[in-house]
Amino acid sequence: MYMYMNPVFFGIIAGGSDRKVLVASMITQRVALKEAGYDICIEDGLIRDFGALIRERLGEPAERETALVTDRNVWDRYERAISASFARAELKFRAVVLNPGEENKSLTGLGGLYDAFSEMQLRRDGLVVAFGGGVIGDLAGFAAATWMRGVRYVQIPTTLLAQVDSSVGGKTAVNTNAGKNLAGVFYQPSLVLTDTALLSTLPEREFRSGMAEVIKYGAIRSKRLFDSLKKELSSEALRDCVGECCAIKGGIAERDEYDNGERMLLNFGHSFGHAIEKLGGFRRYNHGEAVAMGMALAAETGERMGLTARGSAEELRGLLSFHGLDADCPYSPAELSAHMELDKKNSGGVVRLILLTTLGNAFAMSLDPCEFSRAVGAAREGEVF
């Protein structure tokens, strides 16, 4: 299920070691956590400087072993560019190339990574680079967190979802037989390198799914970001959007590193969304598609309860549809309620919903199951309290 590539050792390449990082417009977003802060560097075309940035931020490689964990789809497209970028910085690495897909974010997949690390003799001073979407980031991050009780790792997210969400905040996990992300740990990367140009090869459906999370950041925190998404995005605009999402999530993660408070707001649309993903057997809808429907449901629920400004749901639906996201949930309130009660975020027998006051402002609310069923039923049936 995984394979090693031959070790790639690079000698000096003309001009390599003198090359300075010359990306004037690169956005650097600092995530300042209590114990370990790190930078997220964001730019369109940053891949050319990945090697130089790793070298600059993490120090001289000396004898350091580097395992670059990726998946076949990503590696097929970017092997040459990564190899050239690392060669320019005289970084040597080994690529560990996994099959794509969520099913590899498993204990077996994790065991495969440990075997690869062991074979290449990755020591405590080694480095893991996670180069891929959320699956690779979560799996390689968990492996880095636990290998020899923790080796440094660099995240290079290649999906929109990973760039704005999973690469920020330090959550790593693998799935177990009992469910998704059940074995996991908070472990912060040393550096995140985000090249928005990599998104040009992303399948359209994956891109749309990530847009749902981008829209979410606008809906919960920034009406300006929300409005900026109402037209086609140029590459600069996309870079700026990703930067703003990282700033919002990074700020929230700083204030709530271990997910006990403010981070809840990032779950806007997710209580419904998780239920929708489950009801669709995790195949019918991907995460972003389910979250898109969930956000529309949450906005409608808030409006029916008189807590969300009128017209918000319609405006949100309009933006989702502009980005090709269907906001119409096919499941009944009863089906949704049945599955929401099982959600791991819901503690103490209450359903915690994130609602909007207006677009750009969110708050958390706990409802008992009875109140919740009424709220959702009303939202779906047009009944007014």
Q: Which residues of the chain form contacts with ligand ADP (CB under 6 A)?
A: 71, 73-74, 77, 100, 102, 132-136, 158-159, 161-162, 198, 201-202, 206
Q: What is the DSSP string of 86-146?
A: HHHTT--BEEEEEPPSGGGSSHHHHHHHHHHHHHTT--TT-EEEEEESHHHHHHHHHHHHH
Nearest distance in Å: CB 188, ligand ADP: 18
Please report how close the Cβ of residue 14 comes to ligand ADP at its closest, in angstroms. Answer: 29
Q: CB 214 → ligand ADP: shortest distance, Å?
A: 13
Nearest approach, Cβ of residue 118 and ligand ADP (Å):
24
Residues ≥6 apart with Cβ < 8 Å to 235: 44, 196, 197
Q: Residue 139 or residue 299: which is nearer to ligand ADP going by CB?
A: 139
**What distance in Å separates the CA atoms of residue 308 and residue 301, rounded to the nearest whole number?**
8
Terminus-to-terminus CA distance in the chain, angstroms? 54
Nearer to ligand ADP among residue 140 and residue 365 (C-beta): 140
Share of the chain residues as helix, strand and coil, in percent rounded to the nearest 5? 50, 20, 35
Least distance to ligand ADP from the beta carbon of 138, Å? 8
- Whether 366 and 351 have beta carbons less than 8 Å apart is answered as yes
CB-closest chain residue to ligand ADP: 133
* R_g of the chain computed on alpha carbons: 21
Minimum Å distance from CB 180 to ligand ADP?
A: 11
Task: Report the residue number, 29 or 163, with the smaller CB distance to ligand ADP.
Answer: 163
3 state DSSP class of 243? helix
